[in-house]
Amino acid sequence: MAAQFGLSRRQAQDAIRLGRVDLAGLPCLEPGHEVEPGSPLSFWPNRPRAGTPAHRLRILYEDRHVLVVDKPAGMLTLPTPARERGTLLEHAGKYLARTRGPSRHYVGIVHRLDRDTSGALLVVCSRQALRPFQLMFRAHAIERLYCALVEGQFERPRGTIDLRLVIDRGDGRRGVARAPGQGVRAVTHYEVIEKFGRSAALLACRLETGRTHQIRIHLAEIGHPVIGDPVYRPRTGPPFEVSFERQALHARTLGFVHPLSGRSILVDSPLPEDMARLTELLRRRFQATKR
């Protein structure tokens, strides 16, 4: 890094630790990592620090009652009891104060995305809208489509996973129910968009129900864990050939009939930069074929 980009050794080490260096298209956070001769290196001096999402939210759709925001990976939707700063709730409030005046604005969260899942998330910004949207999410009347990069080879181009989920599978983590009558109903429909040899695939996943961690649990259960998932990927067996800093899961599409205006709204969030780089890396490393 120092030789290729004219940096001091200290500057090169700091750039790597801050997540501003890519090795073969993916961030490398270890300054002592051994690099094969000829491996492509990229330096992005203006990239936000690794693990620190951009300070300003990207707004995908807005009206007087709702915002649909493009949540970056690494940002909590709501603070935990530890009272973290920089949550989506906080940033949404700042956006409304910046664009609609400094008075205190109502912000309501009606669904969540995991900290390391990116993509489209709906926030209500009027008390009048809270209850109607809560009821729509509980009735699964919202169209929700996710993109996931997963391990393994799929023999069928599409399928449905209908497995009930429990809060504790026996080790303190959520999982699939093992006894009849346990858990809550959870249904995920998936379609293979692109295959990367026998090693990985890009899926479109549509939620029929919206349970916590549903896609991650369902895909791991059928032998195709989301790449980079630190929780539900089985710990036995060798690691995946390509490392990734988070679960490769993105909320791509959010669609609904607006309960207050009656308009049909369909919002699309483009694949984020890190998942786009991972997709290109998988294409280069493994033979890629369309579904």
24 belongs to a structural domain:
yes
- Identify the band that residue 180 occupies on the pLDDT scale cut at 50, 70 and 90: confident
Q: Do residues 235 and 186 lie in contact, with contact meaning Cβ atoms separated by under 8 Å? A: no
Do residues 78 and 213 share a domain? yes
Do residues 237 and 130 share a domain? yes
Is a pLDDT exceeding 60 seen at residue 54?
Answer: no
Do residues 34 and 66 share a domain? no
Asked whether the whole model's pTM tops 0.85, one would answer no
For residues 14 and 114, give the distance between their C-alpha atoms in angstroms, rounded to a whole number.
28
Of 202-216, 236-250, 263-277, the one with minimum mean pLDDT is 236-250
**Predicted local confidence at residue 51, as pLDDT:** 58
**Predicted local confidence at residue 269, as pLDDT:** 96
Do residues 83 and 7 share a domain? no
Do residues 85 and 218 share a domain? yes
Containing structural domain, residue 27? 2-43
Q: From the centroid of its chain, how far is CA 143? A: 17
Task: Single out the residue of 269, 220, 274, 223 nearest to residue 245, CA to CA.
Answer: 274
The domain total for the chain is: 2
- Annotation marks residue 114 as catalytic: yes
51 belongs to a structural domain:
no
**Predicted local confidence at residue 187, as pLDDT:** 97
pLDDT tens digits, residue range 263-283?
999 999 999 999 999 999 999
35 belongs to a structural domain:
yes
For residues 98 and 93, give the distance between their C-alpha atoms in angstroms, rounded to a whole number.
9
**Predicted local confidence at residue 115, as pLDDT:** 93
Do residues 19 and 63 share a domain? no
Average pLDDT of the residues of the chain: 91
50 belongs to a structural domain:
no
CA dist 66 to 49, 57, 92, Å? 30, 14, 11
Do residues 151 and 191 share a domain? yes
Report, in angstroms and rounded to the nearest whole number, the Rg of the chain calculated over CA atoms. Answer: 20
258 belongs to a structural domain:
yes
When pLDDT is averaged across residues 215-241 and rounded to a whole number, the result is: 93
Burial class (CB in 10 A: 0-12, 13-18, 19+), 102: exposed
The CATH number of residue 151's host domain is 3.30.2350.10
Is a pLDDT exceeding 60 seen at residue 24?
Answer: yes
**Marked catalytic residue, from 14, 63, 70, 114:** 114
146 belongs to a structural domain:
yes
Do residues 73 and 17 share a domain? no
